[in-house]
Structure formats: structure tokens, C-alpha cells
Amino acid sequence: MSADPNATLHGRCFCGAVRFTAAPAPFQVSWCHCKDCRRQTGAPAVVWAGFNTGELTIEGTPKRRQSSEHVVRSFCAECGTPLTYEHDELPGEIYIHAALFDEADQLVKVANKRNEDTLAEFRYDFDELGNRTEMEASGLTVSERVVSYVYDELSQLIAEDERHAGGRSCAGNIPTMRQVTASPRVGF
């Protein structure tokens, strides 16, 4: 999904040998944490934007590879940028790495497909951060909300650590939320 559902999205590989446009907005934007996607990209998770194949125009010739029994992936033969994912059980659908779009910041996540392959540091639930309406109502930016969430989680861990360490902990060294958000290093 996109902020403007009728906008044309533009993207390309790293070197520009493969370019593409897509319209309208993707029907799905989702994170994938599976081992295949992680190995294919070298990243801890992948964000896919899903389109009907007729909504995508590709210029250039991506190299296609059967990566498993049901999946074909493509990449730029010149620079190696991973590009697309197609599954034979999803006919007429193509998924593109969302970060390749010039307008990637306008794509809105609608799913986070965590599973047993999800790396431990990605298992906490971003949905606890709340939706955009809740964030705007709270007066916090997305970054401040993330920092607040992490701060709360860290505070709980420190409290647990203090219980196990007989009251000794580094809790006194942790700044308050107000100090964190006012810090010039954080840059809110």
C-alpha cells in the first residue's frame, strides 16, 4: 500500500541496468524473515511490495533463477541487486524488494510475516508501537515511539536483573525518556 493509492512508483537496481515502474500502489507490503529471503539478500529480513504482474513494467533484462521448487527470483545480472520473487502458487503476482523504489518511504506495511526463522532480535512485536493515528494522538514521532518502546523494554529487563543481582544494577546510568529525546545525538 502507498500513501497515494494511484501514484506510479519508480525503482531500479543499484547500477540502473534494470528499471521498473508500478501502478497502482502494491496490494501488499510485508516483511519476510524466512531463511531463503535472508540468504538471498544477506539481510536479517526483507520487505516485499506485491503487485499483479500487469501492474509492473520492467526495463532491462533481469536474470531469473529457480531458487526452490516453487519459487523464481530475479536479480540484476550486472550488479547483482536482488529484484523480484514469484511463487507458482501465487499466479499473476510478483513481489519486488520495497527498498528499490524511489518512493519506498511512501509504502505502508500491512503485514510482518515472522516465523520460526525470524532472528531473535526481530521477534519483538512492532505492532505494540501502535498505529500512525495513535502515534499522532500521543504527540510522539515514530522514532520517539520506538525509543520509548525500547526504553520500556530495557527498564523491565533491568528491573528483572536487579531482582536477580540483589539490587545491584546499572539502572542509575540509564537516562530518562525526556533526556533521550532531547539528546542532539538522537536527532528527533
CA nearest neighbour of 24 among 40, 43, 4: 4
Q: What is the pLDDT of residues 91-125, one digit of tens each?
A: 999 999 999 999 988 887 655 554 455 445 444 44
The residue with cell 537496481 is 13
Q: How many CB atoms lie within 10 A of CB 56?
A: 18
Quick check: 9 pLDDT over 50?
A: yes
Domain boundaries 9-118, corresponding CATH code: 2.170.150.70
- Is the pLDDT confidence value at 151 over 60? yes
Q: Which residue has the cell 525500547?
A: 150
Q: How confident is the model at residue 155 (pLDDT cuts 50, 70, 90)?
A: low
Helix (H, G, I), strand (E, B) or coil at 52: strand
| Higher per-residue pLDDT: 57 or 181 | 57
Q: Which is more confidently placed, 72 or 44?
A: 72
Q: Distance between CA atoms of 124 and 132, rounded to whole angstroms? A: 18
How many whole angstroms separate alpha carbon 11 and alpha carbon 81? 12
**pTM of the shown model:** 0.60
Query: Could you tell me the residue ranges of all domains in the chain?
Result: 9-118, 132-182
Q: What is the pLDDT of residues 19-30, one digit of tens each?
A: 999 998 898 888
